[in-house]
Amino acid sequence: MTKFSDLALDPRVLQAVEEAGYETPTPIQEQAIPPALEGRDVLGIAQTGTGKTASFVLPMVTLLGQGRARARMPRSLVLAPTRELAAQVAENFDTYAKHTKLTKALLIGGVSFGEQDKLIDRGVDVLIATPGRLLDHFERGKLMLNGVQIMVVDEADRMLDMGFIPDIERIFQLTPKTRQTLFFSATMAPEIERITKTFLKDPAKVEVARQATASLTIEQKLIQFTPTRKDRSFTEKRAVLRALITAEGESCTNAIVFCNRKMDVDVVSKSLKAHGFNASPIHGDLDQSVRTRTLDGFRDGSVHLLIASDVAARGLDIPAVSHVFNFDVPSHPEDYVHRIGRTGRAGRLGKAYTIATPNDDKYLGAIESLVKMPIPRGSLPEGFALEDAADAPSDAPRGERSGSGSSRSRSSRGGSSSRERDARPAREEKQVVVAEAVEPRAEPRAEPRSEPRNEPCSEPRAPRSEPWRDDRRDGARDGNRDYNRDRRDPARDRRDGVVGMGDHVPDFILRSFKIATVTADDPEETPANGTEG
Distances (CA, A) of 253 to 122, 270, 301: 45, 19, 9
CB contact set of 183 (below 8 Å; sequence gap of 6+): 41, 42, 43, 44, 152, 153, 156, 195, 196, 199, 200, 203
| Site for ligand AMP contains 52 (CB under 6 A) | yes
Q: Helix, strand, or coil here: 222? A: strand
Task: Give 282's strand partners.
Answer: 308
Task: Give 326's strand partners.
Answer: 258, 354
Which of 53, 269, 309, 354 touches ligand AMP (CB under 6 A)? Answer: 53
Burial class from Cβ neighbours inside 10 Å (0-12, 13-18, 19+) for residue 330 reads: buried
Which of these segments, 47-55, 193-201, 216-224, 369-377, binds ligand AMP (CB under 6 A)? 47-55
Strand 126-129 to 279-282 pairing: unpaired
Number of residues located near ligand AMP, criterion CB under 6 A: 12
In the complex with ligand AMP, the residue whose CB is nearer, 7 or 442, is 7
First to last CA, the chain: 51
In the complex with ligand AMP, the residue whose CB is nearer, 241 or 316, is 316
> Please, what is the minimum distance in Å from the beta carbon of residue 48 to ligand AMP?
5
In the complex with ligand AMP, the residue whose CB is nearer, 117 or 317, is 317
Which of 34, 35, 44, 51 touches ligand AMP (CB under 6 A)? Answer: 51
> Please, what is the minimum distance in Å from the beta carbon of residue 43 to ligand AMP?
16
Please provide the DSSP assignment of 220-274 as one string. Answer: EEEEE---SSGGGHHHHHHHHHHHHHHHHGGG-SSEEEEESSHHHHHHHHHHHHH
Interface mask (CB under 6 A) for ligand AMP, residues 443-482, using x and -?
Answer: ----------------------------------------
**Amino acid residing at 71:** A
Q: In what order do the strands lie in the sheet with 104-107?
A: 104-107, 126-129, 76-79, 150-153, 180-185, 42-45, 204-207
In the complex with ligand AMP, the residue whose CB is nearer, 52 or 441, is 52
> Please, what is the minimum distance in Å from the beta carbon of residue 173 to ligand AMP?
28
Rounded CA separation 108/164 (Å) = 14
Which of these segments, 49-57, 123-131, 220-228, 500-508, binds ligand AMP (CB under 6 A)? 49-57
Q: Which of residues 390-429 bind ligand AMP (CB under 6 A)?
A: none
Which of these segments, 24-32, 284-292, 384-392, 464-472, binds ligand AMP (CB under 6 A)? 24-32
Mutual orientation of helices 52-64 and 83-96 as an angle, nearest 10°?
Answer: 50
In the complex with ligand AMP, the residue whose CB is nearer, 25 or 74, is 25
CB contact set of 336 (below 8 Å; sequence gap of 6+): 326, 329, 330, 354, 367, 370, 371
In the complex with ligand AMP, the residue whose CB is nearer, 26 or 529, is 26
- Decide if 273 contacts 432 (C-beta within 8 A): no
In the complex with ligand AMP, the residue whose CB is nearer, 51 or 109, is 51
> Please, what is the minimum distance in Å from the beta carbon of residue 442 to ligand AMP?
38
CB contact set of 114 (below 8 Å; sequence gap of 6+): none
Residue 122: left (phi > 0), alpha (psi -120 to 50), or beta? alpha
Q: Helix, strand, or coil here: 49? A: coil
Burial class from Cβ neighbours inside 10 Å (0-12, 13-18, 19+) for residue 461 reads: middle
> Please, what is the minimum distance in Å from the beta carbon of residue 255 to ligand AMP?
19
In the complex with ligand AMP, the residue whose CB is nearer, 50 or 254, is 50
Which of these segments, 44-52, 109-117, 373-381, 479-487, binds ligand AMP (CB under 6 A)? 44-52
Task: Please report which helix (H) or strand (E) contains residue 257, including its range.
Answer: strand 255-259
Task: Give 185's strand partners.
Answer: 45
Q: Which of residues 295-334 bind ligand AMP (CB under 6 A)?
A: 317
- Which residue from 154, 110, 443 is spatially nearest to 315, judged by alpha carbons? 154
Q: Which of residues 99-118 bind ligand AMP (CB under 6 A)?
A: none
| Site for ligand AMP contains 27 (CB under 6 A) | no
Which of 48, 62, 253, 326 touches ligand AMP (CB under 6 A)? Answer: 48
Q: In what order do the strands lie in the sheet with 323-326?
A: 279-282, 305-309, 255-259, 323-326, 350-356, 218-224, 377-378
In the complex with ligand AMP, the residue whose CB is nearer, 32 or 324, is 32
> Please, what is the minimum distance in Å from the beta carbon of residue 187 to ligand AMP?
15
Which of 12, 16, 25, 147 touches ligand AMP (CB under 6 A)? Answer: 25
In the complex with ligand AMP, the residue whose CB is nearer, 14 or 423, is 14
Which of 2, 15, 22, 414 touches ligand AMP (CB under 6 A)? Answer: 22
Which of 2, 15, 26, 246 touches ligand AMP (CB under 6 A)? Answer: 26
> Please, what is the minimum distance in Å from the beta carbon of residue 445 to ligand AMP?
32
| Site for ligand AMP contains 50 (CB under 6 A) | yes
Which of these segments, 51-59, 60-68, 367-375, 432-440, binds ligand AMP (CB under 6 A)? 51-59
Q: Which of residues 184-213 bind ligand AMP (CB under 6 A)?
A: none
Distances (CA, A) of 79 to 115, 470, 507: 19, 45, 56
* Interface positions with ligand AMP (CB under 6 A): 22, 25-26, 29, 48-54, 317
